[in-house]
């Protein structure tokens, strides 16, 4: 066979091979690729559905746990905002804070404030009352600062308002010399309670 005939036959076989490859691709590979694409889409949608259902179940479990622990939550709220004015409890807490900070309690007076109605969507506390408390203490400056911090961080919700600090005057003289390092503190505190 001549070289030109071999070349023409090889081109013809290459053309037939190319046509055969296109037939195989069109009849077998392309439909299979479409099926694979559809299956991959189904897998992705099922994974998204599974993760959303898992998240929903986790949220429901969390809500159930919160509802089961609501008794302890309401107890914590009752400690922070007690039912009723509980003036004796307030006095006891202030006295304990004063003793732990080494200051002397000299005055404790209270005045009831009018109730404030809560919004209708608030479920924990229906009506909020406040007790205006005037507290007088004396002691060293650092101890008075610690006393104020104790009032602010006490378990019972309280709002420390006006405070007046002055050096303690000697009682022997009218307007006598200040006693060194001892101060008096008068502070107005608003303590809250629920009806």
pLDDT at 38 over 60: yes
pLDDT at 117 over 80: no
| Domain co-membership, 160 together with 185 | yes
The whole-chain average pLDDT of the chain stands at 82
- As for how many domains the chain has, the answer is 2
* Mean pLDDT across 33-46: 88
| Domain co-membership, 47 together with 108 | no
Total length of the chain: 195
Last residue of a domain, one of 35, 68, 101: 68
Does 112 fall in a domain? yes
- Convert the pLDDT of each residue in 88-111 to its tens digit: 888 898 999 999 999 999 999 988
| Domain co-membership, 91 together with 178 | yes
pLDDT value, residue 85: 77
Percent of the chain scoring above 70 in pLDDT: 83
Does 121 fall in a domain? yes
| Domain co-membership, 141 together with 60 | no
pLDDT value, residue 177: 59
| Domain co-membership, 52 together with 11 | yes
| Domain co-membership, 98 together with 171 | yes
- Convert the pLDDT of each residue in 160-170 to its tens digit: 889 888 888 76
pTM for the predicted model, two decimal places: 0.55
**Spatial distance between the Cα atoms of 23 and 35, rounded to a whole number of angstroms:** 18
Do residues 107 and 186 touch, judged by C-beta distance below 8 A? yes
* Mean pLDDT across 105-124: 74
- Token duo for residue 70: 């609501």
- CA-based nearest residue to 112, from 90, 140, 142: 90
- CA-based nearest residue to 105, from 143, 149, 142, 136: 136
pLDDT value, residue 8: 87
Give 122's pLDDT tier (boundaries 50, 70, 90). low
pLDDT at 119 over 70: no
- Convert the pLDDT of each residue in 174-192 to its tens digit: 555 566 788 999 999 998 8
Host domain of residue 26: 1-68
């Amino acid at each position: 066979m001549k070289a030109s005939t071999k070349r023409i036959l090889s081109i013809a076989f290459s053309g037939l091979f190319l046509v055969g490859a296109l037939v195989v691709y069109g009849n077998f590979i392309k439909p299979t690729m479409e099926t694979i694409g559809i299956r991959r889409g189904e897998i992705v949608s099922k994974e998204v559905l599974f993760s959303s259902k898992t998240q929903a179940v986790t949220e429901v479990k969390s809500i159930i746990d919160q509802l089961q622990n609501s008794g302890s939550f309401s107890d914590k709220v009752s400690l922070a905002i007690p039912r009723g004015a509980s003036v004796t409890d307030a006095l006891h807490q202030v006295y304990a804070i004063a003793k732990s900070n080494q200051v002397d309690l000299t005055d404790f007076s209270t005045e009831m404030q009018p109730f404030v109605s809560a919004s209708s969507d608030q479920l924990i506390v229906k009506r909020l009352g406040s007790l205006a408390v005037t507290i007088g203490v004396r002691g060293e400056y650092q101890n008075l600062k610690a006393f104020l911090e104790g009032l602010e961080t006490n378990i019972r919700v309280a709002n420390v308002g006006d405070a007046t600090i002055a050096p303690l005057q000697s009682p022997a003289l009218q307007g006598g010399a200040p006693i060194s390092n001892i101060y008096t503190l008068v502070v107005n505190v608003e303590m809250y309670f629920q009806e």
